[in-house]
Structure 1
Amino acid sequence: MIVRIYVRASTKEQDASRALDDLKKFAQNISHEQIEYVENESGTKLDRPILNQLLNEAGNNDILLVESVDRLSRLTQSEFKILRGRIESKNLRLVVADLPTTHTLINSEDTITNSILTLINNLLIDLLATMARLDNDKRKERIRQGLERSGYKPTGKKSDLAKHNRIEELNRKGLTKEEIAKAVDCGIATVYRVLKNKKTAY
């Protein structure tokens, strides 16, 4: 089992490693190998290179250690569901330093008590992820209102329809999501999102 420590900050001007020392001290009580993953990316992005690397490298029953839920995600509910699915598919144990109930997962055993705690943890993590997204949305709305008052009108980023069509085409041919991501030169999270949006469009 490996403890995979993930720390994130939104911009390069922020210190993504700020929480790293505290998490390393926290992990000292866990007598297993530690690997650090430090990233400067927005938590609203499902496609994050370092997070993707962590998930690709993770093994069965490894620990994913984060400072708080908002350091892992400020995603929409649908995108967080995708991320949670990837974490669960790897059978990773998500331990959140500032959420003590998740600390029981460090030495998890297959008991009724732990099963109940896992259910509670999942509910709490989902709730905190939703709150993190709402907080981010409120902040963006305040910025948008300020820009409107100043007369500035930002233009949105358009989807790459050619890339989306190629993802859908390769999916129909039966390629795995990993193979599609490599062929299209995009993150695997983009593949998940495009195919999920395709399903909900019908």
Structure 2
Amino acid sequence: MHIRAYLRASTKGQDAHRARDDLLAFAEERGLKIAATYIENESGASLKRPELFRLLHDCHPGDVLLIEQVDRLSRLNAEDWELLKTEIQRRRVKVVALDLPTSWMMATADKDAIHSRMMDAINGMMLDMLAAIARKDYEDRRRRQAQGIVKAKADGRYKGRPEDEKRNEGIIKMLEAGMSWNSIVAGTGCSRSTLARLAKRVSGEITS
């Protein structure tokens, strides 16, 4: 059995390494060693998480996926959570979360078959519940954020997201060099609406 730690933060402005010490302490208290750590800055509401799936690909049956909180693993909608959960179960990976005490025994010595099945069932139920709570929290925050923007616009206080000047300068240089829109979108991840706005800036239709 190998312990594989997964650390995730939603944006590059957040520190995905923050929980590393807590995961190390959890393993050391149980005489365990973390074999590998996988770190990424991706939204928990998306299945597009390369490091998580690299972790699962590296796992052998019985390995442990160690996380700080269930929401580090999932803020997914119900359909995507079922897809991820099915992949975890197919690879026979045990999920252990510091905020889910029922999962802690999964990281320790092998249990008899009946005890193991019972703990798997209890842990699976708790995982489903916490994943649903994490999704609801995500949706509530998004709703409050949208309501705040509507109010700020009504009050004349909304300024929108600040421009990523460094990235946009690079995109402008690509446009001036004659690169195709598809290539620029693929290379930078910018939206086509942003690209259209910058293309107008290059052509002189807008100045800012």
Same fold (TM over 0.5): yes
Counterparts of 2:44 and 2:151, CA distance in 1: 27
The question of whether the paired residues in 2 share the 8 Å contact of 1:97 and 1:103 is answered with yes
- Cα RMSD over matched residues? 1.8
Q: Secondary structure at the match of 1:108?
A: coil
Aligned equivalent of 2:73 = 72
Aligned equivalent of 1:116 = 118
Counterparts of 2:46 and 2:105, CA distance in 1: 29
Counterparts of 1:31 and 1:14, CA distance in 2: 28
**Structure 2 residue ranges without an equivalent (≥5):** 161-208
- CA deviation string 1:22-60 (max 9, x = no partner): 101211224455201111111001110111111111112
Higher relative contact order (CA 8 A, sep 6+): 1
**Identical counterparts, % of pairs:** 41
How many residues are aligned here? Answer: 154
- CA deviation string 1:102-157 (max 9, x = no partner): 111122323322321211111111000000000000000011112222347x9xxx
TM-score (structure 2 length as normaliser): 0.69
**Structure 1 residue ranges without an equivalent (≥5):** 155-202
Cα 1:35/1:61, change in 2 over 3 Å: same
Counterparts of 2:110 and 2:129, CA distance in 1: 22
Aligned equivalent of 2:128 = 126
> Amino acid of the residue matched to residue 115 of structure 2?
T
Aligned equivalent of 2:169 = none
Q: What does 1:22-171 align with in structure 2 at a 5 Å threshold?
A: 22-28=22-28, 29-32=30-33, 34-106=35-107, 107-151=109-153
Q: Secondary structure at the match of 1:94?
A: strand
> Amino acid of the residue matched to residue 17 of structure 1?
H
Counterparts of 1:36 and 1:42, CA distance in 2: 18
Q: Whose radius of gyration is greater, 1 or 2?
A: 2
| Poorly superposed stretches of 4+, deviation over 3 Å | 30-33
Counterparts of 2:137 and 2:144, CA distance in 1: 11
Cα 1:20/1:33, change in 2 over 3 Å: closer
